[in-house]
Structure 1
Amino acid sequence: MNEVALQVAETPFEETVVRIALAGALGMFLGLEREWSQKSAGIRTFSLISLLAAVFTVLAIETESAIGEGLLVLGGVLVIVQGVLLAVQGLMSEDETGLSLTTSVSMLVAYGVGALVAVGFILEGVTVAVLSSLLLVLKRELHEFAWGLSHEEMRSTIEFAILAFVIYPILPAETTVEFAGLAIPLEPQVIWLMVVAVAGIGIANYAIVTTYGGRGIAITGFFGGLASSTAVVGTMLDHVRQRPEAASYAVAAILLANAAMATRNLAIAVGFTAGSDSEILVEAIVPLGAVIVLAFAVAALTADWDESGPMELESPFSLRNALGFGVVFLGVLVFGSLAETWFGTLGFYATAVASGFVSSAGATTSAVVLYRGGQLGGPEATVAILLATVSSIVVKALLASTSTNTDFRNRVTAYSAILLIGGTLASVLVVV
C-alpha cells in the first residue's frame, strides 16, 4: 500500500482528477445496459458507485490512515448489502423489470472498477468494465448457448478448461530426461500445448462441422493448419474414430493443413527476406509452391465437397485421444532429439528436421534469421526450410498411421508421398 501511495502522491493533481472522472465514466458505461434493460439501478447509480470507490481509494492511498482504508472497505460492504437487499426485492417482486442478482453483482463490479482506476490500473479497469458490459449485453445469446449444450458438450468444455487453464500453467517449461545414456532436453509445456491444441481445434471442428457439414472440415484443416498443422491430425484421428465413413474428408483436412503449413513457411521465407539487404529466397518458392498446389488439388479431388449435409459427432473431442496423441508426440520429440545428437556435423539440418516435428515455422524462421545475418547462405537456408517442411509432412503421416482405420491411414500415407515427390521434382527442376 505504501509503494502505491508514493506513486499516486507524486502524480499531478490534474491526473488524479482525470482518474476520478474516468471512474465515473466507466460506471456510467456499465450502467448503460442496465438502464436500457429498464432496471431500477441504471446509469446514475452505477456512475455514483464507481465515483464513490474512486474517492475512497484516493483517500485511503493519500492519507495512509486507517480511516481512509476503513471508508474503502465500508463502501464495498455497503454496496454488497445494498445489492443483496435489492436482489431480494427483485426476487420477491412479480415485476419482470425488478432488480436481478446480475444487477447486484454488477454494482459490486462498478465499485471495483472505480477502485482500480483510482489506484492507477487504468487498462485493467477499462478491461473489466468492457467485458462486464459485454456479458450483460449478450445475456440472451449466452443463455441460449448454455441451454443448448448437451451433456457431452458440457463435459468436453470442462475437460478443455482443465487441460488449458489448470494443468498447462503448473508444468515446467524445461526439463531433462535420461534416455540411452543421453540427456535429452524436453519442454513439457510445449508437449502439453500440443494436447491443448488438439482439443481446441477439435472443439472448433465440432462447431464448424455441425454447422456446415463436410465442407466445414476444409475450414478446420486449413485454418487449423495455420495454427498447428500437426494438431489437425489429432483432431482428424478423433473425427475418423467417431465417423469412419467420413475418412475422405479427414484426409482432405490433413492435406489442407499441409497446404497451410507450406503457405506459412513460404510467407516467412519470402516476406522476411523481401526489403532486406539479403536476396529473396526464391529457391524456396517453387518446391513449397508445388506442395501447396498439389495439396489443394488432391484435397479437391478426393472428397465430395458437394455433399454438405450435417454430420453428427459424439463429442467435441476425446480426452483419451488427445492424451494419446500427446504421448505419441512425446515419442517423436525424443526420436528427433536423438537424431540431432547422433548426426554431429549435420547438426543444423538435423535441428531443422527435429524442429519440423514440433513446428516447421520455428525452423523456417530460424533459417531466415541466420540467412539475413549472413551465417547461412541461400542454398543452406532453403534446404533447412525444405527439411522442416518435409519433416512436418512426414510426422503427420506417421501420426495418422496410428489410426485403426486402414483406409484413412493408407490415404494419408499415399497422398503425403505425392506431396513429397512433387516438391522434390520441383526442386530438381529448379536446380537443373
Structure 2
Amino acid sequence: MNGVPLQVVDAPLDEAVVRIALAGALGMFLGLEREWSQKSAGIRTFSLISLLAAVFTILAIETAVGQGLLMLGGLLVIVQGVLLAVQGLLGDEGAGLSLTTSVSMLVAYGVGALVAAGFILEGVTVAVLSSLLLVLKRELHEFAWGLSREEMRSTTEFAILAFVIYPLLPAEYDLPVGPITIPLEPQVIWLMVVAVAGIGIVNYAIVSTYGGRGIAVTGFFGGLASSTAVVGTMLDHVNQRPEASSYAVAAILLANAAMATRNLAIAVGFTMGGATPVLVEAIVPLGAVILIAFGVAAVTADWGESGPMELESPFSMKNALAFGAVFLVVLVFGSLAETWFGTLGFYATAVASGFVSSAGATTSAVVLYRGGQLGPAEATLAILLATVSSIVVKAMLAATSTNHGFRNQVAAYSAMLLVGGALASVIIAL
C-alpha cells in the first residue's frame, strides 16, 4: 500500500495517460477565452484538438505510423483554420477574429504535441502566454494604436537588439591587446545593454502616463533612464518658477536614488547564478544612499507641487550603441589599467566613466568581477566611485542655476548622500 502512492508522486508526468490528460486540460484553458467571446470554436473544440495532437504524438514516439498521423492532424487543423477564416470573411464575425481563432487552434495542437512529447514546462508556457494574448486583446490594441511613429521605431530597434543581435553573439571571447589577453563575455555585456535600455523604455511609459501626477514618479523613474535629464528639466523649472525649487531639489534627490537603485540592481542581479558569489558588499552603501535620498526628499519637498517631465524617444539605436561603447571601452581600459598600474588604475577609470555613465562603469566592474579580474571589495569600490562621480556631476550641473537656494540645497544634500554612503561602508567594514 505504501509503494503505490510513492510511485504516483515520484513520476506522474512520465505516464502517457497523465500527459494526455494535461494536454486536454491545457486545450480547455486555451479555448476558455474563445468560448467566453462566443467564437465559432470554444472549449470542447480546443480540448479535442490538443487531445488529438497528444495521441498522435505518442503514436509517433511509440510506432512507425504515428509520424504520418501527426502531420495529417496538423494539416487538418490548418485546413479547418483556413475554412474558419474564409467563413469569417464572408460572414459577420470578421476575418481578423476568425484568423485569431484559427491560429489559436493550431497553437492548441502544438501545445498538445509538446506535452505528449514530454516538454511539459514548454507546453504550459505556450498555453499561458497564448491565453494572455487572447485575454488582453483590447489592451494590446489600444497600446499599439496609441504608439507614435517614433515610439514604434524605437520599439522595433529594441526588439532587434534584444532578440536578433543577442543570440548571434558568442558567449566568450578573448580580446588580444598586445601581450595581454582580456577575457570578455559578449552576451553578458550585450544583455546588460539591453537591460539598461529596457529600464529606459519602462521608465518612458510610466513617466508619459503619470509624469504630471507627482514628483516621485517624475524624479525617480526619470532617473532610472537618465538622472542627468532630471537635473536639466528641474533647472528649467526653477529658472521659470523659482518657487518650484523645493520639489525640484526632491526630484534630483530621487533621481540619485534611482541611479543608485539601478546600479545596485546591476551589481546584484548580474552576479546571481554565476560562478562568482553575489556581490552583496554593494548593498549597504548603495542602500544607504537610496534611503537617505528618499528620507530627505520626503521631509523637505513641497508635495503640493507637481510638474510634467518631457522625455525624448524611449529608445534609439544610437544611444544603445553609445552606451555599449562607453562601458566596453571602460572595461578594456580598466583591465589594462589594472594590469599596468594595479587596482588603482581601474578605480581612476571608474571615477572618470561615472561622469559619463555610472551604469556603464557599474556593468564594467561586474563583468570584471565575473571574469575573476576583480575581487568583491575592488568591484564594490569601483561601483561606489562611479556612483559618487554621478552624484557629484549632478551637483555641478545644479550649481549652474541662478537660484542660490536651489543650488545650495542640491550641494548640501548631495554631500549628505556621499557622507551617508561612506559612513555605512565604514560601519560595515568595522
Give me the TM-score of the superposition, normalised by structure 2: 0.71
In structure 2, what residue type is equivalent to 1:35?
A: E
Within 5 A, what are the aligned runs for 1:139-158? 139-158=137-156
In structure 2, what residue type is equivalent to 1:45?
A: T
- The 1-side partners of 2:150 and 2:27 are apart by 39
Q: CA deviation at 1:391?
A: 2.2
Q: What is the SS of the residue equivalent to 2:338?
A: helix
Q: Tell me, yes or no, if structure 1 residue 205 matches structure 2 residue 199.
A: no
Q: 1:22 to 1:426 in 2, by over 3 A?
A: closer
- The 2-side partners of 1:328 and 1:128 are apart by 38
Counterpart of 1:69 in structure 2 is 67
- The 2-side partners of 1:177 and 1:47 are apart by 54
Counterpart of 1:329 in structure 2 is 327
Q: 1:323 to 1:75 in 2, by over 3 A?
A: same
Counterpart of 2:257 in structure 1 is 256
- The 1-side partners of 2:220 and 2:187 are apart by 25
Q: CA deviation at 1:187?
A: 3.1
Q: What is the SS of the residue equivalent to 1:100?
A: helix
Counterpart of 1:316 in structure 2 is 314
CA contact (8 A) 2:256 2:290 kept: no
Q: 1:60 to 1:36 in 2, by over 3 A?
A: same
- The 1-side partners of 2:424 and 2:48 are apart by 70
Counterpart of 1:369 in structure 2 is none
- The 1-side partners of 2:59 and 2:256 are apart by 63
Q: What is the SS of the residue equivalent to 2:38?
A: coil
- The 2-side partners of 1:194 and 1:36 are apart by 41
Q: 1:358 to 1:85 in 2, by over 3 A?
A: same
Counterpart of 1:27 in structure 2 is 27
Count matched residues. 384
Counterpart of 1:46 in structure 2 is 46
Counterpart of 2:162 in structure 1 is 164
- The 1-side partners of 2:96 and 2:298 are apart by 57
- The 2-side partners of 1:102 and 1:392 are apart by 50
Q: 1:150 to 1:176 in 2, by over 3 A?
A: same
Counterpart of 2:84 in structure 1 is 86
Counterpart of 2:226 in structure 1 is 235
Q: Tell me, yes or no, if structure 1 residue 245 matches structure 2 residue 236.
A: yes
RMSD between aligned alpha carbons?
Answer: 4.8
Q: 1:302 to 1:204 in 2, by over 3 A?
A: farther
Out of 389, 392, 407, the position equivalent to 2:386 is 392
- The 2-side partners of 1:362 and 1:182 are apart by 20
Q: CA deviation at 1:118?
A: 1.2
Q: CA deviation at 1:91?
A: 1.2
- The 2-side partners of 1:52 and 1:33 are apart by 20
The percent of aligned pairs where both chains have the same amino acid is 69
Q: Tell me, yes or no, if structure 1 residue 103 matches structure 2 residue 101.
A: yes
Counterpart of 1:15 in structure 2 is 15
Counterpart of 1:121 in structure 2 is 119
Give me the TM-score of the superposition, normalised by structure 1: 0.70
Q: CA deviation at 1:261?
A: 6.5
- The 1-side partners of 2:267 and 2:100 are apart by 50
Q: 1:326 to 1:180 in 2, by over 3 A?
A: same
Q: Could you tell me which runs of 5 or more consecutive residues in structure 2 were left unpaired when the two chains were aligned.
A: 1-10, 239-247, 270-279, 402-406
Q: Tell me, yes or no, if structure 1 residue 339 matches structure 2 residue 337.
A: yes
CA contact (8 A) 2:327 2:363 kept: no
CA contact (8 A) 1:201 1:220 kept: no
Q: What is the SS of the residue equivalent to 1:38?
A: coil
Q: 1:206 to 1:306 in 2, by over 3 A?
A: farther
Q: What is the SS of the residue equivalent to 1:295?
A: helix
In structure 2, what residue type is equivalent to 1:235?
A: S
In structure 2, what residue type is equivalent to 1:419?
A: L
Q: CA deviation at 1:266?
A: 12
For 1:26-79, what per-residue CA distance to the aligned partner results, in whole angstroms no more than 9, with x for missing partners?
11111111111111211111111111111111112111x1x3211111111011
Q: Greater shift after overlay, 325-334 or 110-119?
A: 325-334
Q: What is the SS of the residue equivalent to 2:294?
A: helix
Q: What is the SS of the residue equivalent to 2:174?
A: strand
CA contact (8 A) 1:116 1:125 kept: yes
Q: What is the SS of the residue equivalent to 2:170?
A: coil
Q: 1:39 to 1:296 in 2, by over 3 A?
A: closer
For 1:251-284, what per-residue CA distance to the aligned partner results, in whole angstroms no more than 9, with x for missing partners?
434411355379879999xxxxxxxxxxx99xx9
- The 2-side partners of 1:154 and 1:31 are apart by 31
CA contact (8 A) 1:38 1:97 kept: no
CA contact (8 A) 1:352 1:387 kept: no
Q: CA deviation at 1:339?
A: 3.3
- The 1-side partners of 2:188 and 2:34 are apart by 44
- The 1-side partners of 2:429 and 2:61 are apart by 71
Q: CA deviation at 1:296?
A: 3.3
In structure 1, what residue type is equivalent to 2:236?
A: E
For 1:72-96, what per-residue CA distance to the aligned partner results, in whole angstroms no more than 9, with x for missing partners?
1111101100110111011110256
Counterpart of 1:173 in structure 2 is 171
Q: 1:170 to 1:406 in 2, by over 3 A?
A: farther
- The 1-side partners of 2:427 and 2:116 are apart by 67
For 1:89-109, what per-residue CA distance to the aligned partner results, in whole angstroms no more than 9, with x for missing partners?
111102569961100111111
Q: 1:82 to 1:181 in 2, by over 3 A?
A: same
- The 2-side partners of 1:235 and 1:170 are apart by 29
- The 1-side partners of 2:132 and 2:421 are apart by 48
CA contact (8 A) 2:33 2:134 kept: yes
CA contact (8 A) 1:208 1:216 kept: no
Q: 1:299 to 1:98 in 2, by over 3 A?
A: closer
Q: What is the SS of the residue equivalent to 1:158?
A: helix
CA contact (8 A) 2:215 2:307 kept: no
Q: What is the SS of the residue equivalent to 1:184?
A: strand
Q: What is the SS of the residue equivalent to 1:310?
A: coil
- The 2-side partners of 1:28 and 1:141 are apart by 23
